[in-house]
Structure 1
Amino acid sequence: MKKFLQVCFFLVGIPYVQAQQALQTPEQYLGYPIGTQFTTHDKILDYLEYLCKQAPAKCKMQTYGSTYEGRPLVVAFVSTEANISQLEEIRTSNLKRAGVLSGQPAGNQPVLAWLSYNVHGNESVSSEAVMQVMYDVLNPQNQQTQSWLQNTVLIIDPCENPDGRERYVQWYKQTAGQPSNVSPQAWEHHEPWPGGRPNHYLFDLNRDWAWQTQKETKARIALYNQWLPQLHADFHEMGVEAPYYFSPAAKPYHQDITAWQRQFQDIIGENNRKYFDANNWLYFTRERYDLFYPSYGDTWPTFNGAIGMTYEQGGSGRAGLAIARESGDTLTLVQRVAHHHTASLATIEAIATRSTQAVQEFEKYYTNARQKPIGTYKSYVIKASGEPATLGPITQYLQNQGITFTYASKGSSAKGFSYTTGKSASFNIQENDILISAYQPKSTLLKVLFEPNPVLEDSLTYDITSWAVPYAFGVEAYALTSRLPEGNKEPNVAGAAANSSITKPYAYVAKWQTSADLQFLASLLNKKVKARYTETPFEVNRQTFQPGSLIITRTGNEALGDTFDKLVTEQAATFKITLTPVSSGFVTKGSDFGSYSVRGIKAPKVAVLAGEGISSSAFGEVWHYFEQQIGYPITVIRTSYFNTVPLSEFDVLILPAGSYNSFFNDRSVAGLKEWVRAGGKLIAMESAASFLAGKSDIALAKKKATQVAAIKDKTATPYDTLAIYGNREREQINEEVLGSVYRITLDKTHPLAFGYNGTYFALLREAPGYEFMKSGWNVGILKKDGYISGYVGKKARPNLQDALILGVQDLGKGTIIYMADNPLFRGFWQSGKLLFGNAVFLVGN
């Protein structure tokens, strides 16, 4: 009976207990206080899911993608019960307010505030802080946060880079002392290569917002464009000795940032200052972190109408759970969590208490974008040259950005700024050319991404200063001051393929001019289809094919039997390649298919060097290029065992940028040269080329020191030439090249330059100053008039005139390719991808 009564009491008490049950704090759920150990990504998501299940009417979680390593990418929507119940209506109303969707927006709309955490994996404190933030905004006992949610919808991304974060957290758990060792010399404060900062392919996701080269970024931007929030805050970490940074940002501000966006930089700074002062925490503003380069988590949202901002906490991967600073104090993870937690709530408060104005300014931003677009240019034309399929990469890019465009329906004449010449020119608009109007919701983003020469109000910026999309994609384009009428929504691709009646062609011919052609070749080689390329132009079936064009003959592919035609045509369809089937190896003009100028393409075995001493990002760019962009196998070799590798097993070896003096000795270099002489192909990129320059048997050499006459004011005194300590940053930047676009003149008869019309626009980030090679091929050179746009320090300029950028040297039976410029930089410089493919597949055959 006693047991029965106890059970009855328990059952009767269930409703009461549930009604009074409080949300578990992070400590209660995890079993340890936040900041006393690192929490794995899965446990963070578990806690957020627990919170949302406990308050389903106020929270909704959405998986919006996955990482390369298969971890989920998740956001949580948090607001009042009323707002969450109308979440879809709020979303569509906001897009109507921006003009992205047609129709009238709702009269009253909550402000949308998106908070992103942990884009750099080893800046791991922010994902710890987000658990406390989520608890606070969902805790019904917290009257302050509940009042903010009345007119605010929070979109919280707890971890933008799960792969990088797990790389760091798991390493730290394995190496940390118990208890943790605060000595900066301890193992736990020295991450091994490549560190936890980047994603799986070692890309910096915080510099990928505008380019969307990575899987994580593509998924995030797709979701972002479905919401277009009024605010985006990005939480980071910096060096151990630094305190905390919040807005306002440092100069330079991009000129297209609006007065309201600038004003809110001060507002948010003031709100953060209030709380940081109350806690006597150190911080700084208006230094280091500017708002110029458009591909950050603060700038890209800014150019999409949001108030964008960055937060930086001292610590990062070196700090671990606790570390001794030079000042004598100890920085702990608990402290770092407290700072990010406080800044998060201060940000929510600042926007929530100004929600009406924020929504009004957002609507004003997009109304102006559609009706009164900023900037000189009101239209842009991208030439299709009669082949709209070749513009697939750039049209896909525009669509991903949310930028609308049409295709010209008929021919006409126009005049505008030519990106190719840098001057105003008359040109013809032809059918299927891409027309982009500035009178659209994303016109500010369009203007920023297409601006030929961004205005830099202050040279003290730490990223690239030029990025125009026509240069990045290597397309012929024009910017017009007038508004053009819209064209067709789809290109006119009517017409049957030439000679489609040939059922068993002698060969298939394909042009060589885009990265899609490169993907097509890689897929053929993967499927054991043998291909050739021409070194000279030829004409067949009244079509002219330029050097580099692929010739896929039946001869040599007999082993494929009846599957030959199916393999070739299916792969062509996959990559939207136009094939020209021909019935004979005889051509109308040029060299026949059996000529010595028609070279066979071997399926090369490719290796790339990685590990300590190699730039992780430079290696990642190569790795991602092969596996994700062209789909061709590559073997990664670590520097730690490179000297034991039989290089004879490989045809191509790629040396990304790195500190080669740290692990390459004379014996290593001698082995490389011996391998090249035996028929190997070495591709030396950036500092790898610099390492080789001047060594015996190497044709590459640095320019001899030149004396540059100083221009002095006649009235100047000798004191004016003395170095000033306060000017040291500006003096240093005078020697730098901050991502500037230069016109490279190509020897288009060389296989390295096939597919290019004698010109390549490169994004240079240094001035190596190489002489023209006396024994070798100077394939890509800089002339005196090569500068296009971007910041170049006056001391760097002499090394960017009459200089070698791309060179090829024959050594024995092999080849060395020197690339002073990295055409794969950050994966977004699309026009360089065919160039690198030439180096891998065509040069040296």
Structure 2
Amino acid sequence: MSKRLLFLALLFSANTFSQDYFFEKYRPFNEAIPSPEEFLGYGIGERHTRHDLIVAYFTKLAEVSNRATLYEYGQTYEGRKLVMLTVTTPGNHANLSDIKAKHLAFNDVNQSVTNYDEVPIFINLAYNVHGNEPSSSEAALLTAYTLVASDHSEVSNYLKNAIIMIDPTINPDGRDRHTQWANSYQGNPLVADPADAEHNEYWPRGRTNHYWFDLNRDWLLGIHPESRGKLTWYHQWYPNVVTDFHEMGSQSSYFFEPMKTNGSLNPIMPKENYEDLNNLFGDYFAKALDSIGSFYFTKEVFDGTYPGYGSSYPDLQGGLGLLFEQASSRGHKQTTAFGEITFPFTIRNQYTSSMTTVKAAVENKAYLRKYQQKFFKSALTNATKGRIKGYYFKDDFDQNRVKAFIDKLLLHKVDVYQQDNGYVVPTNQPQYRMVQTMFETYSKYQDSVYYDASAWSVANFYNMKYRPTNSLNLGNKVESTENLVTNTPVVASDYAYILDYDDYNAVAALHYLQSNGLVVSSSFKPFSTITNAGQKSFNYGALVVPVSLQKKDAKAVFELVAKAQKKFKIPAFGVETGYNTKGIDLGSRYVSPLTKPKAMMLIGDGVRSYEAGEVWHLLDTRVHMPITKIPLRNFNSIRFDNYNTLVMVSGRYNLTTSQLERIKTWVAKGNTLITIGTATKWAIDKKLVKESLVPSKQDSTATVSRKPYVDAPENIGKEEVGGIILKVDLDVTHPLAFGYRDQQIPVYKNNSIWVQPSKNEYATVAKYSKDAHIDGFITEKNKEEFLNKAASLVVSKMGRGRAILFADNPNFRGTWYGTNRLFLNALFLGDKIDVPE
């Protein structure tokens, strides 16, 4: 039988044969151990399995078998359990603490153990980071059953020589969102038509977590509980091999590593990882998939350049991260150009790769252990060779932003020390490659098209002022962030309180006070005064709480201010006079009361759910402020006058003429429209605002050179701006920039929206600097034709209201603490912006 006929036969067999279709080769099985089919009441592949049932089955395996134990490493936003099933021999379980100590000894740069083949290899089989790529979690059930119940000699050998840790669902919230959809629309008989509802989820779909974030980009950023729990677990165990199972378009086949060449000019991961180890394991996967007639491809499309994937982060910890991509049935059965692809067939490929990963790891455990040992030792060697001995950073005005950055370093086990009223990260440490990831920036690359971002210097995400240093006078090592923020307790006043607006948490404190009925003003000019803590200078935006003008008595006002300071750990001060020592007085017309935001955001089909989720997450988790999420289908029924701010993130907005006019009229009444990315282009194209995009140079008379067709994707793709860090010149006197002191800050750009500076000389808040590039790949054409002429943030007058136009995303992936303030100022200070004519 040809491979093609065998492929079709397998698709057919998935719907007609028993569960032996998956694991016949591993018989016999212990009959005392229930199979997934026996436990669930249906065969794997017949429907999509809810996460609670997956956890229940793993719990059952741990109850009935001495090969398995279950550990809960966290919970999702929606309260679903994140679990790890550890499977090995009963003897290994009994001695797991000792085995773990021996395993970690290989990674200890102060030890030189060489018994590489004597200690079981540590394998983390991880599944379903994208919720609507469900085949892998079903494969996790089959893999767990095989390893726990099979009495086959091959499995017995695996258990003797490995500690296998199975994470069945990295993204339970997204998985259950998709599971509900697929099962709800499942037909009987199955409907294979790609147009059927079963294969077409409604927005925001199940790929993302509760806040619509892609968790496969969060390993480096560590924003969400799913990732933070996994990272904490990871640095307790340092597995040698980690899998990362995905799905892709239905018209494809199957992908396993090796990947496309790393795009970095000099990748910080060892060449041995992405060449030797990937090719070694690739031979195993090819042989296994050949044996069941599955087609596949390697070395295309996907790359491991960005260090925040589940398949790339382990590579920076001395392990081997392995990416798998399965053509998706997007439901239970779907017609493709190659015939019908079924859910069971997709599961079988993932199951086969799971078992093959264990086989390859066990048969090469000495090599993998020696490699991980060399990885951490080479970190010190590489650091010693480098000229830079450490990175010093500080911020005198924003302790909470510094704290958030240090939290990120500690999450990745990067050593941080106090030094000279700041902090220093030495390069000479086992996590040197993570230090490089956090601080180093690049301008030269060997590739120009990336699967994801080409810039990720995390220090810039936090607008952290840092510099390389060769002087390391290390002070105390920072062990936690618990006591990093210190403030003088506010003292009761009968006159007024002032909150320093430079602190990242000041906006949250502002909203807290407003929500509790206090009138809070903002200072539109700096001043100095005598506070309970002595002489103090305040920057633009300082928050003023006048006691006598409140509806509450002085005691209640003090209690609220004190609670705000304690809750958000911000600088707050009592003052006894409005007559300031320098600058404006507290009764000045430049001290203006602020209106509490009543914000709404359009969501639904066409809207970029990632960006909408970033806004929702920021306001929910850091500001504790509600935002009303309006589905586009409900646009006509919304009472716009209930709100004073409308947020529109990137997307395709197919609004009617009357709907456009409704937005325009509402803004003109004095309200605020905030647009981000392609929504800014939309507002300009629809002439809601009198702004323009930087025009592209089109020379119709130029001779077009002939190029090979095969190079078209690369040549066209490199002109896209996939994710870079740029520097902007900021007008720190503008209300949108209140809380900033530096006139140049980093911003993140992952689009090709190039906005011209406003013709109004007071309305361009941020313009790209003359030498704007900080990190990431951008073509010279984009630099010269667009970047050098464009603005990042513009305000446009609309009647008595205004549109605040972000060309870039200030809230990217929940981790751009450095530019969050620009967006939050748009919400809280937008109505105070009166653009002069």
2:183 paired residue number:
173
Within the candidate set 235, 241, 244, 1:225 is matched to 235
1:762 paired residue number:
747
Aligned positions of 1:464-475 closer than 5 A? 464-475=453-464
- Tell me the CA shift for residue 181 of structure 1: 0.6
Within the candidate set 467, 477, 488, 1:489 is matched to 477
One-letter amino acid matched to 1:238: M
Within the candidate set 500, 520, 534, 1:511 is matched to 500
* Structure 2 Cα separation of the partners of residues 376 and 141 of structure 1: 56
Within the candidate set 638, 641, 644, 1:648 is matched to 641
CA deviation string 1:64-96 (max 9, x = no partner): 111111111111111111221122333344344
1:15 paired residue number:
none
Cα pair distance change 1:567/1:381, threshold 3 Å: same
Cα pair distance change 1:444/1:35, threshold 3 Å: same
* Structure 2 Cα separation of the partners of residues 146 and 486 of structure 1: 50
The answer to whether the aligner puts 1:33 opposite 2:20 as a matched pair is no
1:427 paired residue number:
none
- Tell me the CA shift for residue 787 of structure 1: 1.9
Cα pair distance change 1:27/1:697, threshold 3 Å: closer
1:301 paired residue number:
314
Count of residues in Structure 1 that have an aligned counterpart in Structure 2:
790
2:510 paired residue number:
521
Aligned positions of 1:8-407 closer than 5 A? 21-55=31-65, 57-99=66-108, 108-252=118-262, 254=264, 255-262=267-274, 263-315=276-328, 319-327=330-338, 329-370=339-380, 372-373=382-383, 376-385=387-396, 388=399, 390-407=401-418
- Tell me the CA shift for residue 173 of structure 1: 1.3
* Structure 2 Cα separation of the partners of residues 106 and 96 of structure 1: 11
* Structure 1 Cα separation of the partners of residues 628 and 634 of structure 2: 14
SS at 1:521 equivalent: helix
Cα pair distance change 1:495/1:156, threshold 3 Å: closer
Within the candidate set 538, 543, 547, 1:545 is matched to 538
Within the candidate set 671, 693, 699, 2:662 is matched to 671
- Does structure 2 conserve the Cα–Cα contact (< 8 Å) formed by 1:450 and 1:469? yes
Segment of structure 1 superposing worse, 88-97 or 172-181: 88-97
* Structure 1 Cα separation of the partners of residues 352 and 102 of structure 2: 31
* Structure 1 Cα separation of the partners of residues 451 and 793 of structure 2: 26
* Structure 1 Cα separation of the partners of residues 463 and 411 of structure 2: 19
- Tell me the CA shift for residue 292 of structure 1: 0.3
The answer to whether the aligner puts 1:607 opposite 2:595 as a matched pair is no
1:412 paired residue number:
none
SS at 2:786 equivalent: helix
2:613 paired residue number:
620
One-letter amino acid matched to 2:291: A
One-letter amino acid matched to 2:472: L
* Structure 2 Cα separation of the partners of residues 359 and 218 of structure 1: 26
The answer to whether the aligner puts 1:703 opposite 2:716 as a matched pair is no
One-letter amino acid matched to 1:487: G
SS at 1:721 equivalent: coil
One-letter amino acid matched to 1:204: D
2:5 paired residue number:
none
2:10 paired residue number:
none
1:805 paired residue number:
792
* Structure 2 Cα separation of the partners of residues 75 and 578 of structure 1: 42
SS at 2:583 equivalent: coil
- Does structure 1 conserve the Cα–Cα contact (< 8 Å) formed by 2:485 and 2:569? no
- Does structure 2 conserve the Cα–Cα contact (< 8 Å) formed by 1:375 and 1:447? no
SS at 1:690 equivalent: helix
- Does structure 2 conserve the Cα–Cα contact (< 8 Å) formed by 1:513 and 1:834? no
- Tell me the CA shift for residue 699 of structure 1: 2.1
CA deviation string 1:80-126 (max 9, x = no partner): 11221122333344344433999999984322111110110110011
* Structure 2 Cα separation of the partners of residues 496 and 687 of structure 1: 41
1:796 paired residue number:
782
One-letter amino acid matched to 1:527: N
* Structure 1 Cα separation of the partners of residues 700 and 537 of structure 2: 51
* Structure 2 Cα separation of the partners of residues 33 and 142 of structure 1: 22
- Tell me the CA shift for residue 536 of structure 1: 0.8
* Structure 2 Cα separation of the partners of residues 334 and 642 of structure 1: 41
TM-score between the two structures when normalised by the length of structure 1: 0.89
2:758 paired residue number:
773
- Tell me the CA shift for residue 624 of structure 1: 0.8
CA deviation string 1:426-473 (max 9, x = no partner): xxxxx2211101122211111122211175321121211112122110
CA deviation string 1:190-243 (max 9, x = no partner): 111111111111110101110011121111111111111111111110000110
Within the candidate set 667, 671, 678, 1:687 is matched to 678
* Structure 1 Cα separation of the partners of residues 115 and 563 of structure 2: 49
- Tell me the CA shift for residue 504 of structure 1: 2.2
For structure 2, the 5+ residue unaligned runs are: 1-28, 833-837
- Does structure 2 conserve the Cα–Cα contact (< 8 Å) formed by 1:388 and 1:433? no
SS at 2:278 equivalent: helix
Cα pair distance change 1:499/1:53, threshold 3 Å: closer
* Structure 1 Cα separation of the partners of residues 485 and 698 of structure 2: 62
- Tell me the CA shift for residue 274 of structure 1: 0.7
* Structure 1 Cα separation of the partners of residues 407 and 508 of structure 2: 16
- Tell me the CA shift for residue 514 of structure 1: 3.5
* Structure 1 Cα separation of the partners of residues 115 and 683 of structure 2: 65
RMSD in angstroms over aligned alpha carbons? 2.5
CA deviation string 1:482-537 (max 9, x = no partner): 3623212359999997796x542522222222322222222222222321111111
For structure 1, the 5+ residue unaligned runs are: 1-18, 409-430, 712-717
SS at 1:309 equivalent: strand
One-letter amino acid matched to 2:529: V
Cα pair distance change 1:727/1:72, threshold 3 Å: same
- Tell me the CA shift for residue 160 of structure 1: 0.6
One-letter amino acid matched to 1:299: S
1:825 paired residue number:
812
- Tell me the CA shift for residue 376 of structure 1: 4.9
Cα pair distance change 1:388/1:658, threshold 3 Å: closer
Cα pair distance change 1:218/1:330, threshold 3 Å: same
SS at 2:159 equivalent: helix
SS at 1:619 equivalent: helix
- Does structure 1 conserve the Cα–Cα contact (< 8 Å) formed by 2:441 and 2:776? no
Cα pair distance change 1:520/1:503, threshold 3 Å: closer
One-letter amino acid matched to 1:771: Q
One-letter amino acid matched to 2:433: T
The answer to whether the aligner puts 1:563 opposite 2:556 as a matched pair is yes
- Tell me the CA shift for residue 37 of structure 1: 1.7
The answer to whether the aligner puts 1:579 opposite 2:572 as a matched pair is yes
- Tell me the CA shift for residue 695 of structure 1: 4.1
- Does structure 1 conserve the Cα–Cα contact (< 8 Å) formed by 2:494 and 2:548? no
SS at 1:543 equivalent: strand
CA deviation string 1:807-828 (max 9, x = no partner): 1123232221011111011111
Segment of structure 1 superposing worse, 445-454 or 544-553: 445-454
Cα pair distance change 1:387/1:171, threshold 3 Å: closer
One-letter amino acid matched to 1:819: F
- Does structure 1 conserve the Cα–Cα contact (< 8 Å) formed by 2:754 and 2:807? no
* Structure 1 Cα separation of the partners of residues 135 and 578 of structure 2: 65
